[in-house]
Amino acid sequence: MPDSSTKPASAEIQRWEEGVALSDTFSHYLNLSSSLKTAALQGGSRSLHLARRVEAALGTLYPKLDKRIGLLWGILSRIRNEVVNLPLLHRLPEEILSEIFTRVVFRNIWENQDRPIPMEDSLSEIQQRLRCLLCVCSVWRNILLARDVFWSTVGVYYLIPPTNWNRVYLPIRETRGANLHLVLALPLPTGFGCEALEEHASRFRTINISAEYDIKRPSIKDVIDVFLKNRPPLLSELSISHDRLGEYAYHNVTFYAETYRGGFELASYGIL
């Protein structure tokens, strides 16, 4: 196994090692200081003037140098200790860690269930896994925060049981134009505007809506109307889950879905 010290250094390490030239500069400054008295007096400088300049350097320059050298020693020692003691998992490339995190966060634990799992349950499980990974260490946290895939699900839903205190918001973050997956649990909170839906309509790839049977406005129809006016070009999946109360509610939501299906080019759509 080749010695790691013989491997080509990265550009960052090479730039840092260029700072070693400071040692040569310091050695040159030390030689000049050693011969300062003789050279200055021979050059015609007055001894009192020389003493004042040296006194000024002793009072300002040298304390700064001493403090910064000590600070540099501390920084390099900390970096060495952190790298030496770094767990093997942290030494994996960020791309591999990101792939591992993706499999952990979005792993389907409901695949053996006999019936569809409520959207709220799946989202709660995903958010719990994500929070656990975020709390491990700053390295993992930075990797998660830098990957749009972990923040692409946006909207609002309720924990079980659904109350105002159990509402969960998934805001649209600075995801640099990444595709988004919208989840909405109706009724929407008071003051929830559709402006954000209109603004980011072109970025939604999937839309999942769940609703109670006696929802107030905005209704399923109101939400779908937003996307009919601002058709998402990337939209490939529309799912509507409705707590049915009698045949009227079922036929009502079915009518809306069949009516609006022609408004989108969908790979799939479903009614639950």
Full-model pTM: 0.54
Q: What would the pLDDT profile of 123-149 be if each residue is shown by its tens digit?
A: 888 888 999 999 888 888 889 998 888
pLDDT value at residue 144: 92
CA–CA separation, 212 vs 241, rounded Å? 9
pLDDT value at residue 101: 92
pLDDT value at residue 247: 44
pLDDT value at residue 215: 59
pLDDT value at residue 13: 77
Amino acid at site 112: N
Residue 50, helix vs strand vs coil: helix
Distances in Å between the Cα of 231 and the Cα atoms of 143, 200, 254, 264 are 33, 11, 20, 7
Residue 75, helix vs strand vs coil: helix
Query: Could you say which residues of the chain have pLDDT below 50?
Result: 1-5, 246-257, 259-260, 271-272
- 180-186 and 167-170 strand pairing: unpaired
